């Protein structure tokens, strides 16, 4: 259960703090950090406007693993948070049962 919580937290961080920038006039794709967790995960930009972001990764045409990122971005944020809360609640219940026994 601990590994599942860690996985959900990693997916939550990826969804909330990364963004894909797609250039309109060039096939270059950038993966950047974003500071607003509820902003969009995709943006179409001009080639030179990526300088205002902290670029984590860049690639031509499509990034390696972009299908996985698309899947992570499509899942609603509330689902990640609710699964994490359910896991924490179950962990607390299990610890109470173990403590009382």
Indicate the pTM of the whole model: 0.81
Residue 40 in 3-state DSSP?
A: coil
Using only the alpha carbons of the chain, give its radius of gyration.
18
What pLDDT band is residue 6 in, cutting at 50, 70 and 90?
Answer: very high
Determine the average pLDDT of the residues in 16-27.
88
Provide the pLDDT for residue 100: 83
Pairing mode of beta strands 42-45, 18-23: parallel
Transcribe 42-92 into DSSP letters.
EEEE-GGGGGGS-EEEEEESS-TTHHHHHHHHHS-HHHHHHHHHHHHHHHH
């Amino acid at each position: 259960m601990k590994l599942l919580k860690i996985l959900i937290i990693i997916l939550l961080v990826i969804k909330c703090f990364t963004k894909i920038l797609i250039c309109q006039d060039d096939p270059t794709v950038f993966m950047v950090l974003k500071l607003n967790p509820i902003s969009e995960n995709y943006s179409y930009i001009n080639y030179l406007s990526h300088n205002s972001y902290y670029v984590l990764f860049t690639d031509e045409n499509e990034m390696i693993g972009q299908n996985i990122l698309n899947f992570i971005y499509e899942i609603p944020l509330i689902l990640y948070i609710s699964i994490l809360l359910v896991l924490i609640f179950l962990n607390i219940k299990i610890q109470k049962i173990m403590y009382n026994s």
